[in-house]
Amino acid sequence: MPRSVASDAIARQIVRSGTSPVANYRAACLGKSKKDFLNKLKMVEEELDETGLWLDIIMETGMLPRYRVLPLYNESQELLKIIVSSILTVQASLQ
């Protein structure tokens, strides 16, 4: 990332939102109930979505070349799809 106030802030946000999904997923796996599992999966969803947002901003503003960021963005979207599918499955089982 180039050195600037904006890119430094975005880099910090990506470090935070990009690393918290794994910790929240682990917490979800240790959930006390299906509802607890579901709530923690929703936190994973939010953090993955936020990471995708920051990666999108990096590409759209040209902070980094698109070809360097796009694989990371695509991976974040794939993980998001997996988590959303899991959330829908858990929600269906609760009904």
pLDDT for residue 2: 86
Residue 1 has pLDDT above 90, yes or no: no
**What would the pLDDT profile of 65-92 be if each residue is shown by its tens digit?**
999 999 999 999 999 999 999 999 999 9
pLDDT for residue 70: 97
**What would the pLDDT profile of 12-44 be if each residue is shown by its tens digit?**
999 999 999 999 999 999 989 999 999 999 999
Burial pattern 37-46, b for ≥16 Cβ within 10 A else e, equals: bbbbbbbbbb
pLDDT for residue 87: 97
Q: Which residue has the higher pLDDT, 2 or 65?
A: 65
- CATH code at 5-94: 1.20.1440.60
For the chain, the domains span 5-94
The three-point CA angle 91-88-84 to 5° equals 135
Distance CA 30, CA 24 (A): 10
pLDDT for residue 90: 96
Distance CA 29, CA 31 (A): 5
pLDDT for residue 8: 94
